[in-house]
Amino acid sequence: MNLLFPVIAVAAAFLVGSVFVLLIGDNPIETYWLLIGSALWWPDGIGYTLFLATPLIFTGLAVAVAFRAGLLNIGAEGQLYVAAFATAWVGIVLANVPATVLVPLCFAAAIAAGATWGAIPGLLKARFGSHEVINTIMMNFIAVALVSYFTQYHYRTPGDPILQSAPISANAYIPRVGELIPGFPERIPLNLAFILALVACVLVYVLLWKTKWGYELRATGSNPSAAEYGGISVRRQIVLAMAISGGLAGMVGINEVLGYRHRYYDGFSDNYGFTGIAVALLGRNHPVGVILAALLFAILTRGGIPVDAFTQNVTKDIVQILQATIILFVAAEALFRKPFQRWLTSSPSR
């Protein structure tokens, strides 16, 4: 039942999308075949799709955890930027530290930076009651400008025309999947961070549903007054949830810097933080749902490239329309829920 409505929403969006494709003058079935088929093609299609899904799993989880605590974290974007910069910074300044120490340090830097950036709006809300939506948006502006400044004026290689930092130490690299699985081409940037994302999903699930901390976090999100009554410090939960959320968003930096570019590249995020909101929404704020939703968005992004190139008229704009339509349908879930439930109750039950 929980998965039913997102699935209906996705199907309805594809239906609406096919109307667009028809109007433009292409064949929707062929277009979708190309879209999905190319995104799942072994090994490049699937490799790139999983690579694109990795940051979305992290940000989707981040938004979901905050949402379970009753908070809307619009700030994953800023959190992942500071985290990516922080992990690159550690990889640059501690260049001579051996890999066994440096890689964990870089992980810690990414998570800590994201968590701190998330905890600040959490603290502001807990202490002064100012709304986290406004504050996380503001923190995004600050984050983007701050890391851009540091990159440009302090950590750029002199003479480099691209706005990016100096490369990190090779000791901080994490392996690509191609180095781990024989036969999988090493040119595909899918890396250890994807495994990390799956582990994060398991950990978030255990945290939320198997530990007392998760209970307190969810209780706060479900009914803060009742949580307070039950002896839970709502203020502490708000800060904690935002920190966890920020830490998860920060792990995008691991994928980006340690696994892919090996340096901080300014403006690298393809709106991962904001897409994460849609991923969490579509995934019902559940880790398994987040994985599925992240995969769907990654398929649409990856499959959009050949659709753009090989169909007569459909461009990647249409793919974006499809993405937006899915989000609209999911958000307007009541649209399906009402008639569906009426149908369920009116059908003879005996």
Partner 1 sequence: MLQLRNITKRFGGVLANDQIAITVEPGTIHAIVGENGAGKSTAMRIAYGFYTADSGEILIDGHIRRIQRPHDAIALGIGMVHQHFMLVDTMTVAENIILGAETGTPASLDLDEATARIRKLTDDFNLAVDPRALVEDLSVGQQQRVELLKALYRDARLLILDEPTAVLTPQEVEEFFAILRGMRQQGKTIVIITHKLAEVLAVSDAVTVMRDGRVVGRVKTKDTTAAELARLMVGREVLLRVEKTPAKPGAATLSVRNLTVTPAIADLSFDVRAGEIVGVAGVEGNGQRELIEAIAGLIDPAQVSGDISLDGAPIAGLSARDRRERGMAHIPEDRHRRGLLLEFGLDENAILGVHYRPPVTYGVFVNDREVQRRTAGIIQRFDVRPPNPALPARALSGGNQQKLIIGREFELRPRLLLVAQPTRGVDIGAIEFIHRKLVELRDAGCAVLLVSAELEEVMSLADRLLVIHKGRIAGEVDPQMASAAEVGMLMTGGH
Which listed range, 109-117, 136-144, 217-225, 303-311, lies at the site for partner 1 (CB under 8 A)? 217-225
Residue 206 CB, shortest distance to partner 1, in Å, is 8
Report the distance separating Cα 28 and Cα 9, nearest Å. 18
Indicate whether 215 belongs to the interface with partner 1 (CB under 8 A).
Answer: yes
Per CB under 8 A, the list member of 219, 238, 242, 248 interacting with partner 1 is 219
Indicate whether 2 belongs to the interface with partner 1 (CB under 8 A).
Answer: no
CA atoms within 13 A on the CB side of 46: 8
Indicate whether 205 belongs to the interface with partner 1 (CB under 8 A).
Answer: no
Indicate whether 128 belongs to the interface with partner 1 (CB under 8 A).
Answer: no
Residue 227 CB, shortest distance to partner 1, in Å, is 8
Per CB under 8 A, the list member of 130, 148, 233, 315 interacting with partner 1 is 233
Residue 233 CB, shortest distance to partner 1, in Å, is 7
- Angle formed by the axes of helices 212-222 and 234-250, to 10°? 110
Indicate whether 152 belongs to the interface with partner 1 (CB under 8 A).
Answer: no
Per CB under 8 A, the list member of 152, 157, 223, 313 interacting with partner 1 is 223
Q: Nearest-CA neighbor of 76 among 340, 325, 271, 319?
A: 271
Nearer to partner 1, 149 or 229 (CB): 229
CA–CA distances in Å: residue 91 to residues 54, 77, 300:
21, 21, 33
Which listed range, 46-54, 119-127, 219-227, 247-255, lies at the site for partner 1 (CB under 8 A)? 219-227
- Which tokens in the block code for residue 52? 């694109």
Per CB under 8 A, the list member of 131, 210, 337, 338 interacting with partner 1 is 210
Q: Nearest-CA neighbor of 31 among 293, 319, 296?
A: 319
Indicate whether 235 belongs to the interface with partner 1 (CB under 8 A).
Answer: no
Indicate whether 154 belongs to the interface with partner 1 (CB under 8 A).
Answer: no
Report the distance separating Cα 182 and Cα 172, nearest Å. 22
CA–CA distances in Å: residue 276 to residues 73, 130, 252:
10, 23, 11
Report the distance separating Cα 116 and Cα 247, nearest Å. 8
Asked whether 18 and 30 are in contact (CB, 8 A), the reply is no
- Is residue 172 helix, strand or coil? helix
Residue 231 CB, shortest distance to partner 1, in Å, is 3
Q: How many residues bind partner 1, per CB under 8 A?
A: 22
Q: Which of residues 56-85 bind partner 1 (CB under 8 A)?
A: none
Report the distance separating Cα 293 and Cα 285, nearest Å. 10
List residues near partner 1 by CB under 8 A.
Answer: 210-213, 215-216, 218-219, 222-223, 225-233, 345, 349-350
